[in-house]
Structure formats: C-alpha cells, structure tokens
Amino acid sequence: MFFRRKCPVCGARNDKGAVTCSNCGTSLETKEPSPREATKGFDQVVPLNPRSAHAYCKRGVIYQKLGQNNRAIEDFTKSIGFDPQYAKAYSNRAHAYLEKGDFDRAIADSTEAIKLDSKMAVAYSNRACSYSEKGLHDLAITDFDKAIELDPEWAVAYSNRGCSYGEKGQPDMAIRDCTRAIELNPDLAAPYKNRAIAYEDQGKEAKAIADFKKCLALTDNPAWIKRCQDSIKELA
C-alpha cells in the first residue's frame, strides 16, 4: 500500500509511511478522499486557518459535490470576504447559484470572476448556462464561444453550446457541437440527449432513437431518463 506525505485535504506534510494526516486526520492512502471525508477534514482545518480564503473555498467545493449549495455559498462568501480578488471563489459561488436556479446572481458572480481573471473558461461557461436558462441564447452562445476558445477540448462546453443552438432552432449547429462533444468524451450523456433532440427536430427518427438509447445507457438523471423513454415510444 502506498501513502502520500502531503495531505490531499489540508496540505500538511506528514512523516513517510503515515496512514492518517497528523493535522486533520484524513486518510493518506493514494485514493482520493470521498466528499464526506474531505468535508470532515476541512471542518478541522478551517478553525486552524480561520481567515484562509483558500480553505473556505475548498470546503465550499466539497459542499457543492454533496449537493449542499446553501452551505457552499456561505463558504464561498466567507472566502470572498477574506480575499475580494479571489476569482475562483466568485466562479464557484456562481455555479452554486446556478444549481439553485438563482440565475441573476450566477450571472453577477460570473461577471465579477471574469473581470478578475479573463482567462477562466468555467466562469464564461457558468454565465452562459445562466443566460441559457433565462432564454438569452445569443448571449449564452457568445460566452460558450469564449469558453471553448480558452479550453478547446472541453466537451461539456460544446454540448451546452449545442443545446443553446437547438433552443434557437438551429439543429444543424446543435448536431455539429454535440458530435464534437461526443468525440472528446463519449461517456457524457448530455450531448447524446441534445443531439437526439436536434435529430428529432429534423425528423430523423432513427438517429434520434439511437442517441436517446445511448443517453439512457449513460445517465441516472430521472428527468433525462423519462425524456428519453417518452421520445423513444413516440418515435418508434
């Protein structure tokens, strides 16, 4: 069994062969800690570094992974309070607001993150998703363009831009982007779903059914499962 010297949660250095971190108690096995294990570690680290913007931001990310967006927002807000120039904290809080459906706040935080770091692809993507949810698809596509320019191999950005093109009634562009997303990451469910809808809009039933079935094989999202199953029944 191999162990880390540096704790993956708090960053503390440990003696060679240590099984748990001497600072926060996190397992030092080579496997990554689960979100709950990591949260427990940060709960011990934050009191030791009560003014650490980084510590609050990292714990906020873990809360997001656990679906606890309100607690994540609290931590990101504290992080920003200690470091108002911390672009990552604004971007992370934007994503938490996006998950909560608070799209205006997500847009505001994404915009602030972009002002602080104009090379942050995820900030453009978060703002684009928020614009898309508000039906502002032209603005969304412009931001997805920028995200892809900054990170040309980001499959999710292509898939999301494809979805925006589909919502605009441009299925050809949607199919192009979703196909590129699938080339980059064939294990993502979303681009198959989005491309299936575009094929459906074009009246290409066989291709739509094939993509809906592929999405079903990859997703555990209840809403997507229902959408795919309903469409397959209607198209078959």
- Going from N- to C-terminal start, the domains of the chain cover 153-236
pLDDT of amino acid 125:
96
Question: What's the average model confidence in pLDDT over 96-103?
Answer: 96
State yes or no: pLDDT of 187 exceeds 50. Answer: yes
Q: Average pLDDT of 94-101?
A: 96
pLDDT of residue 119: 97
pLDDT band at 161 (very low <50, low <70, confident <90, very high): very high
Distance of CA 83 to the CA centre of its chain: 23
Per-residue pLDDT averaged across 107-135, rounded?
97
pLDDT at 158 over 90: yes
With cut-offs at 50, 70 and 90, classify the pLDDT of residue 52: confident
Q: 182 is written with which tokens?
A: 């699938």
Say yes or no to pLDDT of 205 above 50.
Answer: yes
What confidence tier does 55 reach under pLDDT thresholds 50, 70, 90? Answer: confident
Written out in words, the top-level CATH class of the domain with range 153-236 is mainly alpha
pLDDT beyond 80 at 212: yes
| Arithmetic mean of pLDDT, 180-203 | 97
What is the pTM (predicted TM-score) of this model?
0.79
**Among 42-46, 53-57, 68-72, 206-210, the least confident range:** 42-46
pLDDT higher than threshold 50 for residue 116: yes
Query: What pLDDT sits at residue 92?
Result: 96
Within a 10 A sphere around the Cβ of 61, how many other Cβ atoms?
A: 20
Q: Is the pLDDT of residue 3 over 50?
A: no
| Sign of the alpha-carbon dihedral angle for 127, 129, 135, 141 | positive
- pLDDT, averaged across the chain: 87
pLDDT at 81 over 90: yes
pLDDT confidence of residue 168: 96
Provide the percentage of residues in the chain whose pLDDT is more than 90. 72
Burial 165-184 (b: 16+ CB within 10 A, else e): bbbeebbebbbbbbebbbeb
Higher local confidence (pLDDT), 21 or 97: 97
For the segment 55-61, the average pLDDT, to the nearest whole number, is 88
Q: 102: alpha, beta or left, given left = phi > 0 and alpha = psi -120 to 50?
A: beta
Q: What is the mean pLDDT of residues 184-191?
A: 96
